[in-house]
Amino acid sequence: MKILFKSPELKSDVNRDEFFHSLEKIPAYKNIEKMQSHFLLELDNAMGLKTIQQLFSLFDEWSIDKSPLESFVQYVQMESEKLKNTIN
């Protein structure tokens, strides 16, 4: 799976390194490619809820527009509902 998103403002090399390190910690991370003012993030197709949660957190932390993640919202809601039903 690939996600194209606008690059955050990376003001220094240290800042840039922190950003890439954060990406690499995502469980389903495979690769990142710079495409002018955007990045193309490649993820393992077997990604799960933890990966999605970390992506939302990372986008929040770096003030990245979350619209490329919108397709995951329904998945998260369905997984949350399954968990509720399992507990009850």
Q: What is the pLDDT of residues 31-63, one digit of tens each?
A: 999 999 999 999 998 788 889 999 999 999 999
Written as six digits, the tokens of 51 are: 């990966």
Q: Which residue has the higher pLDDT, 87 or 30?
A: 30
Would the pLDDT of 87 be above 80? no
In this structure, the chain runs to a length of 88
Mean pLDDT across the stretch 18-32?
94
Range 2-87 has CATH code 3.30.70: yes
Cross-strand partners of 33: 40
Q: What is the DSSP letter of 85?
A: H
Q: Are 1 and 41 in contact (CB under 8 A)?
A: no
**At which residue do the structure tokens 């919108």 appear?**
70
Prediction pTM value: 0.80
- Rounded Cα distance between 54 and 14, Å, is 21
Helical (H) or strand (E) element with 34: strand 29-35
